[in-house]
Structure 1
Amino acid sequence: MSKPVIDVIIPAFNEEDSIGKVLQDIPNEWVREVIVCNNGSTDDTAAVAAAGGATVLLQPQKGYGNACLKGMEHIARRPQQERPDIVVFLDADYSDHPEELPQVVQPIIESNYDLVIGSRALGNLEPGSMQPQQIFGNWLATTLIRLIYNYRFTDLGPFRAIKYARLLELDMRDPNFGWTVEMQVKAAKLQFKSTEVPVQYRRRIGVSKVSGTVKGSILAGHKILWTIFKLI
């Protein structure tokens, strides 16, 4: 794949302090369009993202998956010949390192992989960047995927790249916390050629809407496990 067309989808909810930094660090020479899906923010996330050069979509229906699906809907409106080769997903809170995008897409470009997960477990975690319940949840989920589907992942990290054609095959549906694990379980079931690359991960700007609260952590953990088992 020579000089692929790459689009980036970033779900964002009240990330006015971080989204500008995320956009600034994305290597523009690698990306055609950055799509920020404003997921019902009550702050200036949309304005900051637009000022940073992103295409801003409004998705008032809350949920991480709903925001990602809005970005996919935008891409699907393009004529067939203008659709991307690769879609990259990353978070808006500046916990990911957007400058690592070339490393994340490299296995697709050079070795024809279908899906690449940026693995925080294999990379460098800044102290405090992941809560203990997140680390345990990732271990449990990826262990279950290995045991049930005989497919090895080490992380459910948000920073990931996938061939657009393969993304469509997954028929993604989850509206919220189960989005990342749904993608990986469906990829395992369809025997996608998948791999992981080590990525860095730092303390996010602001407070997490999921791991930052006990309720959010419990709901996310329940949804992830439910998603793994319902897709068997």
Structure 2
Amino acid sequence: MYKGQSVVAIIPALNEELAIKKVVSQLVALSFDDKQVVDEVIVCDNGSTDSTAQVAAEEGAVVVRQDIPGYGIACLTAMERLPNCDIVLFVDGDDSCFIEQALPMLDGVVNGVDLAIGSRTLGHIEKGALTGPQLFGNWLSSYLITLFWGQEITDLGPFRAMRRQSLMAIEMNDKTFGWTVEMQVKAIICGMQVNEYSVDSKVRIGESKISGTLSGSVKAGIGILSMIGKLYLRKRRIVKHYLSYGISNE
């Protein structure tokens, strides 16, 4: 619970047995005014062949499994298990971020922001934390979003918090690499308040399944750019669905 609002953290994870213990334990231990901030941690084991699920459960996380590979489908699967809550915090399971830096993002949501993005570009990036293709891809995607929709974006960072009601209203669909950009762009299209918050990045534990390989980087890039194109073409449909959900931003 953070300032009267319940918080659930979602972690999509694939073969993160070396890092998941640290990430889950830090989320469970996160406190403000001597009170536990995160009410529940949900880990989606995305087909791991190691002990990711066991370690996460031992640290107190609720674990669900999804054998179909994909960052988006892992997040969607975890969302199916969401209890009634006010804020959903998304965190990667590789220990690449500083968990305590979630507090400013949560503070933003408590104070009216719909989507709070942890921008690594605005923070300190430890040498080796992000690869060249990652840095270029983030720059290009952010530039296109800013160009097409008129809101300055600096990063597609996966460390983010969103009001649960707003998250459900935008009806997330992407099952692979376009998940983060889909969330950001849909929120912008629907007139939601989207703010960025400076977060620092450190070298992850273990090897990335996306940026750690050339094929993974290429697939991620194609997925993100194609999602931007789809959203640009579907703007009216997205707004119509959002209005039918019955939320007003007035």
TM-score normalised to structure 1 length: 0.95
Alpha-carbon distance between aligned partners in 2 of 1:112 and 1:185, rounded to the nearest angstrom: 18
* Separation of aligned partners in 2, 1:32 and 1:25: 13
- How far did 1:99 drift? 2.0
Alignment of structure 1 residues 179-218 onto 2, 5 Å:
179-218=179-218
Counterpart secondary structure, 1:125:
coil
Across the aligned residues of Structure 1 and Structure 2, the Cα RMSD in angstroms comes to 1.1
Amino acid at match of 2:229: F
- 1:172 alignment partner in structure 2: 172
1:1-232 equivalent positions in 2, closer than 5 A: 2-26=3-27, 27=30, 29-75=36-82, 78=83, 83-109=84-110, 111-232=111-232
**CA deviations over 1:116-136 (Å, ceiling 9, x no partner):** 000000011100100011011
Post-superposition Cα deviations, 1:98-125, rounded to whole Å, max 9, x if no partner, equal 122212211111x311000000000111
Aligned residues: 225
Q: Which amino acid aligns with 1:228?
A: I
Q: Deviations over 1:204-225 (max 9, x none)?
A: 1111100000101011001100
SS of the aligned residue for 2:60 comes to coil
The normalised TM-score by structure 2 is 0.88
Deviations 1:144-179 (A, max 9, x none): 001111122110001000000000011101001110
What does residue 236 of structure 2 align with?
Answer: none
Question: 1 CA distance for matches of 2:44 and 2:151?
Answer: 31
Equivalent-residue separation in structure 2 for 1:134 and 1:61 (angstroms): 24
Q: CA deviation at 1:59?
A: 0.9
Percentage identity across paired residues of the two chains: 47
Distance 1:65 1:172 in 2: 9
Residue 3 of structure 1 and its aligned partner are, at CA, apart by 1.1
CA distance in 1, matches of 2:20, 2:3: 30
Report the Cα distance in structure 2 between the residues aligned to 1:190 and 1:116, rounded to whole angstroms. Answer: 15
Query: Aligned partner of 2:17: which letter?
Result: E
2:79 maps to amino acid: M
Q: Deviations over 1:13-34 (max 9, x none)?
A: 0000000010122215101100
* Displacement after TM superposition at 1:141 (Å): 0.3
Runs of 5+ consecutive residues of structure 2 not aligned to the other structure: 233-250
Q: For residue 215 of structure 1, what is the amino acid of its counterpart?
A: S
Question: How far apart in 1 are the matches of 2:3 and 2:103?
Answer: 14
The unaligned stretches of length 5 or more in structure 1 are none
Paired letter, 2:167: L
Distance in 2 (CA, whole Å) between partners of 1:132 and 1:9 is 27
The DSSP-based 3-state class of the residue aligned with 1:11 is strand
Whole-Å Cα distance in 1 between the matches of residues 152 and 121 of structure 2?
Answer: 13
